[in-house]
């Protein structure tokens, strides 16, 4: 939910909140559909996948 909150804050002037939410839900479900460990710390130390989900994709 932190990723969604961050995206709403960053992109609310460019996009409707409904579009941001739809994009987030689509990307989140595609990325984590079969994974149960999605909120665990990764071995490379990255906790948040915000950059992976949003940057470069929200403008597609």
Is the full-model pTM beyond 0.75?
Answer: no
Mean pLDDT of 15-31: 86
Asked if residue 25 has pLDDT above 70, the reply is yes
Position 59 in a domain? no
Asked if residue 59 has pLDDT above 90, the reply is no
pLDDT tens digits, one per residue of 31-58:
777 665 444 556 676 666 666 666 656 5
What length is written for the chain? 60
Asked if residue 19 has pLDDT above 60, the reply is yes
Which residues, 6 or more positions from 34, have their beta carbon under 8 angstroms from its beta carbon? Answer: none
pLDDT at 13: 92
3-state SS class at 47: coil
- Domain encompassing residue 43: 2-54
Q: What's the structural domain count of the chain?
A: 1
């Amino acid at each position: 939910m932190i990723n969604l909150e961050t995206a709403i804050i960053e992109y609310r002037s460019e996009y409707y909140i409904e579009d941001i939410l739809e994009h987030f839900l689509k990307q989140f479900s595609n990325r984590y559909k079969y994974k149960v460990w999605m909120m665990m710390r990764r071995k490379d130390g990255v906790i948040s996948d915000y950059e992976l989900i949003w940057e470069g994709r929200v403008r597609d």
